[in-house]
Amino acid sequence: MRRRGLLLALLAGPARAEDIARGRMLRFPRDHGAHLDARTEWWYATGWTGTEAEPRYGFQLTFFRSRTGLAEGLASRFAARQLLFAHAAVTDLGAQRHVHAQRIARWSGDGPTALASASTADAELRIEHWTLRRDGQGWHAALPAQGFAIALNLQPTQPLLLQGDAGFSRKGPDEAQASEYYSEPQLAASGTLALDGRRVPVSGRAWLDHEWSDELLHADAVGWDWIGIDLFDGGALTAFRLRRADGSALWAGGSFRAAGVATGQASTAFAPDAVRFAAGRRWTSPATQASYPVQWQIGTPAGAFEVRALMDAQELDSRASTGAVYWEGLSELRDAQGRRVGLGYLEMTGYAAPLRLR
């Protein structure tokens, strides 16, 4: 649900609507771009490289935007009306190593500066030398960091997947707790990953989410659990739940799109009471002492599945940017017969500490 993007709510100012409403028709390429009047926004890509039987690397890259609510009456193009953040991470399964980095920049929203920009015409985001942009050939990412770097092309193989009700995605029991949300599953990923100065050509699959919202999480929500899985047969599975402090589900949702969508098959949105998350084995972070379920039983209208992290230690400490600690990692999806049927990412927030406004 980007699910990771709601971390930006921790930093956002007073809400101001930008057509976050049921029935709004998404228009592209404009809606690939930034929605500067929306309170929070994120572009989030995850994926894996290697083979279905032997994935080698996982990767995550996210650009966030938050409207601060500050200096909105000032004419200066240097006023910090927007904050831009970015996260990058690579999971090296062979070496059992997870590396990550983060960036943050203040931005007026009045056009590109030397440090940051976010186009409103199409997706084109930049924080210093970190970039994510889209053109007719797909998405292009370049995120050089200390000790590692991501340089990838993500080419669409399927139409967009509009989450929820034609892109209007509820995130809580109140209608106002919602976002505009679409996904691009089954992206063909190619490019290079660099680790410790060694450049490795890679290819695999990726998933991209773009989501924007004006409303905060429900007051009772302390975090969420989310999966976005590219199925090996060409299908796509999304499932999420928002949690109360006692671990019970406050809200849930997701979608399933079967293989063959290119010939016109539609996706199915899940009702809140149709999604179940049951935690299994847990891993405790030695850095934060947070305890994360790294194995889940998930029930959906599309079937019952098991999600297993392919490496336990995939926690990200983003307190220097978005202000939160969360777990985001490459995972496998197994069907009721125990067969691996997909790969993708599991995200869990609110385990190190409840999400709170500053």
The CATH number of residue 111's host domain is 2.40.370.10
Please indicate, yes or no, if residue 214 is contained in any of the structural domains: yes
Please indicate, yes or no, if residue 355 is contained in any of the structural domains: no
What's residue 13's pLDDT?
Answer: 41
Please indicate, yes or no, if residue 272 is contained in any of the structural domains: yes
Please indicate, yes or no, if residue 203 is contained in any of the structural domains: yes
Q: Report the number of distinct structural domains present in the chain.
A: 1
* Cβ-contact 299, 276 below 8 angstroms: yes
Range of the domain at 255: 3-349
Over the chain (358 residues), the average pLDDT of each successive run of 10 is: 43 49 93 95 97 98 88 58 94 97 91 91 97 97 96 97 95 92 97 94 98 87 96 98 95 95 74 98 97 98 98 89 86 97 97 70
Please indicate, yes or no, if residue 110 is contained in any of the structural domains: yes
**Integer angstrom CA distances of residue 179 from 41, 135, 185, 190, 213:** 9, 24, 19, 30, 4
Please indicate, yes or no, if residue 354 is contained in any of the structural domains: no
Cα 145 to Cα 13: distance, rounded to the nearest angstrom: 30
Q: Which two tokens stand for residue 315?
A: 């926690």
User: How many Cβ atoms from other residues are within 10 Å of residue 17's Cβ?
Assistant: 12
Please indicate, yes or no, if residue 356 is contained in any of the structural domains: no
What's residue 5's pLDDT?
Answer: 44
Please indicate, yes or no, if residue 190 is contained in any of the structural domains: yes
